[in-house]
A = this chain, B = another copy of it.
Amino acid sequence: MTEVPDENGKGKRKPAGAAVLQESVTSAILRAAFAELAETGYARMSMDAVAKRARVGKAAIYRRWTSKQDMVVALSAQVGVPLAEIADTGSLRGDLLAYLRATSKLLRHPLASQIVPDLLAEGAREPVLAQVFADVVERPRRERATELLQRAVERGELPPDMDTDLALDLLFGPLYWRLMVSRERMPPGYVDRLADTLLAALVALPSVAAHA
């Protein structure tokens, strides 16, 4: 159900459409759905609007996916994967900065910044959305960040019995709060100061066993 057909199936066609040259119908639909999702939100997004924006008949959409939900799930799966790379810069502080900068750039993306909170909220009602979001965004990010912390432990920059669970919340939380919830602008040097503060917080982190 969820599979996205390869670009160009058996029956190929030349561009044909007016403006969108050289683009397959499938990718035109997904691109339109992405934009529409950002503008309108999942709940209000209409398939007619997607078809219209993609200069496509609705039949072309339902030939590929069985429903709006199915299409959005496929779209999320395709978009979510490539955004989970974190570089190894050789030091914890460098890795932190790289991660914070990458995340900040991502969360400032005009489309993503609208879609992420929307799908997150909708996920509370449509479990399949929450699932794909967890699998395709949340988990990869968490894994990359865990590797980042593990590298610091191996370098001796962090203690081995560190509370990873809490550390991850410290990495993700403040930046997400500022950019997605509070939505205030970041003053110059904000990311650098955040990195320094997180550095201090991480080395002061109680071990997993600590209870008070």
Contacts and interface: CB of A to CB of B under 8 A. Distances in A.
A205 interface: yes
Interface stretch (A7-15, A22-30, A36-44, A146-154): A36-44
A193 to B, nearest CB: 5
A23 to B, nearest CB: 27
Contacts of A138: 182
Interface stretch (A49-57, A79-87, A167-175): A167-175
Contacts of A205: 193, 197
Given A125-B41, A174-B174, A206 B193 contact: yes
A129 to B, nearest CB: 12
Contact of A120 (B117, B163, B204): B117
What class of interface size applies to chain A in its complex with B? 35 or more
A169 B211 CA distance: 24
Nearest to A187: B165
A121 B120 contact: yes
Counted per complex, copies of this chain come to 2
Contacts of A4: none
A14 to B, nearest CB: 37
A165 to B, nearest CB: 7
A158 to B, nearest CB: 13
10 shortest A-B CB distances, which residue pairs? A200-B204, A173-B173, A43-B43, A173-B177, A173-B174, A201-B201, A117-B121, A169-B174, A189-B211, A118-B121
A178 interface: yes
Contacts of A190: 165-166
A192 interface: yes
Interface string A62-104: 0000000000000000000000000000000000000000000
Contacts of A156: none
A40 to B, nearest CB: 7
A170 B182 contact: no
B198 A212 contact: no
Contacts of A143: none
